[in-house]
């Protein structure tokens, strides 16, 4: 069989490691930036038009939604892997079965989570010690966002499925549509334009809801008009009701990734609860800083996912001679890219933070202080992601999870509780680099020790599995939903 140009681009076992890795990572980086840009634009509208209280409210609500999305997202990631593997062996019906099962299962879960979340939203915000001036904002915003959750989740699931089937262009176009609608409707609904009444913070959430349902409807119309491979017709619609066998696979594969995301997002909720106890200005400053930290993670996510997928192919091909090179080049790219971003962000942090808080906000100096203490930790985060990704390429999943749990809970939170009496709120910001140093050292020790290489796999994880596992290991920062 002749080798196509696409097959050659997919072959990560030959060619110069540096060039192959970089070219493979750049599209993922662009997609991740676009997905996060939407949240940043919305935060700019909220912070500039409605003030610190509203911005603090969205920071609280977004972390809660990240946790709830995470409870469902791991199963969608598992389905993406199943779709990719089925398409790879040319079994289109199996791909549709996996895709339909994931859609049906995750839609039901999203309805349950959204309903329970709507009811318990006041208790959740109280447990997080949401500052009084931000509480009413947060409750309104969070409850309207809950209405958008099923549409947002289904859109992401369909995009993940299409990507698993090898189509990365269609998801990109509809992600662009969603970003344009959401960011464009935010000022219209917040301030009120023409016949549209001014809705304040509810308007920002309503814009997200409208963008979610419109882009979902448009995506479904496109899938069926173009008769894309994963569309379900006639008897295939029964795939939306997953069988016990399908559920077992989705849950078994999805649970480790979902658990990892829940562990990370729960740690984020604990941190924001500690931040909220410092008052409204600190909460608003933290919300603005989180938006910038979202972008500091982007190189780590893209390079980590690319290194993992590339290592998986080389392990499967028996090219262990290239694996160390992939890890070392990935770490070097992270130092270069993330380090450059950190330098730029710290050099121009005041105007960047003013986008969210307004140039006269007293929270800017506080946010700058957080940036200087914590931002450099994302350099170590990127190095850890490459090491984790390389080891996951050989099927090692639980050791990275245990390292993350240790770094986020006994180390990061333990440092906070020990240092707070002396350092005050600075103990929160310094706990980020303390946790990152710990995870990097533990990951490095385990990588160099080498036992992860001894794992025997009948089938190495494929490209999509490596990508999704890496996405499941990122900090929530300022995003409402995980990267998908």
Q: What's the per-residue H, E or C state across 113-163? A: HHHHHHHHHHHHHHHCCCCHHHHHHHHHHHHHHHHHHHHHHHHHHHHHHHH
Whole-angstrom distance, CA of residue 61 vs CA of residue 280: 15
Tokens of 454: 């001894």
Cβ atoms within 10 Å of 409's Cβ, excluding its own: 15
Cβ atoms within 10 Å of 244's Cβ, excluding its own: 6
pLDDT at res. 413 = 92
pLDDT at res. 7 = 44
pLDDT at res. 1 = 38
Residue carrying the six token digits 């005041």: 350
- What is the maximum alpha-carbon separation in the chain? 69
Whole-angstrom distance, CA of residue 64 vs CA of residue 121: 9
CB-based contacts of 349, cutoff 8 Å, min separation 6: 292, 367, 368, 371
pLDDT at res. 84 = 66
pLDDT at res. 481 = 55
> Kindly report the CA angle at 427 between 425 and 432, in degrees rounded to 5?
120
pLDDT at res. 420 = 96
- Using a 10 angstrom Cβ sphere, with 0-12 exposed, 13-18 middle and 19 or more buried, the burial of residue 321 is exposed
Tokens of 371: 């940036």
CA distances (Å), origin 387, targets 105, 424, 449? 33, 33, 12
What SS3 state is found at 375?
coil
Per-residue pLDDT of the chain (484 residues; tens, 9 = 90+): 344 444 444 566 778 888 888 887 777 677 777 767 777 777 887 877 777 777 777 877 777 777 777 767 677 767 766 776 677 677 888 888 888 988 888 888 888 888 988 898 888 888 877 777 788 888 888 888 888 888 888 888 888 778 767 676 788 788 888 888 988 898 999 888 888 888 888 888 899 899 989 999 999 999 999 988 888 988 989 989 888 888 887 777 677 767 777 787 788 878 888 998 998 889 889 988 988 888 888 888 888 878 887 887 787 778 888 889 999 999 999 999 999 999 999 999 899 999 888 888 889 999 999 999 999 999 998 999 899 888 877 777 788 889 989 998 999 999 999 999 999 999 999 999 999 999 999 999 999 998 888 765 544 555 555 565 566 556 665 555 555 5
pLDDT at res. 8 = 45
CB-based contacts of 296, cutoff 8 Å, min separation 6: 338, 341, 342, 345, 375, 378
Tokens of 99: 């895709």
Whole-angstrom distance, CA of residue 360 vs CA of residue 426: 23
pLDDT at res. 167 = 73
pLDDT at res. 38 = 72
Closest CA to 432 of 271, 320, 192: 271
Residue carrying the six token digits 């072959």: 11
Tokens of 241: 């009701």
Enter the pTM of the model: 0.74
pLDDT at res. 458 = 42
Tokens of 128: 């997080």
Instruction: State the number of CA atoms in the 13 A half-sphere of 300 facing the CB.
Output: 28
């Amino acid at each position: 069989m002749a080798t196509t140009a696409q097959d050659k681009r997919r072959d990560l076992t030959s060619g110069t490691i540096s060039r192959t890795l970089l070219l493979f990572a750049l599209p993922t980086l662009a997609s991740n930036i676009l997905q996060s840009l939407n949240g940043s634009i919305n935060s700019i509208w909220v912070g500039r038009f409605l003030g610190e209280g509203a911005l603090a409210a969205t920071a609280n609500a977004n972390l809660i939604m990240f946790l709830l999305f995470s409870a469902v997202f791991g199963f969608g990631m598992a389905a993406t892997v199943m779709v990719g593997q089925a398409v790879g062996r040319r079994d289109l019906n199996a791909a549709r079965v996996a895709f339909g099962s994931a859609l049906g299962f995750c839609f039901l879960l999203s309805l349950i989570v959204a309903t329970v979340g709507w009811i318990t939203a006041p208790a959740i915000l109280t447990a997080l010690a949401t500052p009084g001036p931000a509480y009413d904002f947060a409750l309104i915003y969070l409850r309207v966002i809950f209405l958008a959750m099923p549409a947002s989740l289904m859109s992401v699931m369909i995009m993940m499925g299409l990507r698993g089937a090898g189509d990365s262009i269609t998801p990109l176009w509809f992600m662009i549509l969603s970003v344009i609608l959401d960011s464009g409707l935010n000022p219209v609904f917040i301030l009120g334009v023409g016949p549209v009444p001014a809705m304040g913070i509810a308007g920002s959430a309503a814009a997200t809801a409208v963008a979610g349902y419109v882009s979902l409807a448009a995506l479904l119309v496109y899938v069926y008009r173009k008769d894309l491979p994963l569309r379900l017709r006639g008897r295939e619609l029964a795939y939306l009701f997953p069988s016990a066998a399908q559920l077992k696979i989705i849950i078994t594969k999805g649970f480790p990734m979902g658990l990892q995301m829940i562990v990370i997002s729960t740690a984020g909720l604990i941190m924001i609860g500690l931040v909220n106890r410092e008052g409204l200005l600190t909460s608003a400053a933290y919300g603005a800083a989180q938006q910038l930290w979202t972008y500091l993670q982007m190189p780590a996510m893209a390079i980590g996912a690319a290194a993992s997928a590339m290592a998986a192919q080389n392990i499967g091909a028996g090219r262990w001679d290239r694996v160390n090179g992939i890890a070392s080049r990935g770490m070097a790219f992270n130092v270069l890219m993330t380090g450059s971003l950190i330098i730029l962000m710290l050099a121009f942090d005041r105007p960047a933070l003013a986008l969210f808080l307004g140039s006269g906000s007293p929270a800017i100096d506080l946010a700058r202080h957080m940036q200087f203490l914590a931002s450099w930790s994302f350099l170590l985060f990127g190095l850890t992601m490459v090491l984790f990704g390389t080891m996951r390429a050989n099927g090692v999943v639980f050791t990275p999870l245990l390292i993350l749990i240790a770094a986020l809970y006994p180390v990061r939170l333990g440092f906070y509780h020990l240092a707070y009496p002396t350092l005050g709120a600075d103990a929160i910001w310094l706990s980020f680099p303390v946790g990152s140093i710990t995870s990097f050292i533990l990951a490095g020790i385990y990588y160099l020790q080498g036992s992860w290489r001894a794992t025997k796999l009948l089938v190495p994880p494929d490209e999509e599995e490596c990508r999704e596992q890496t996405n499941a290991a990122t900090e929530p920062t300022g995003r409402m939903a995980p990267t998908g």
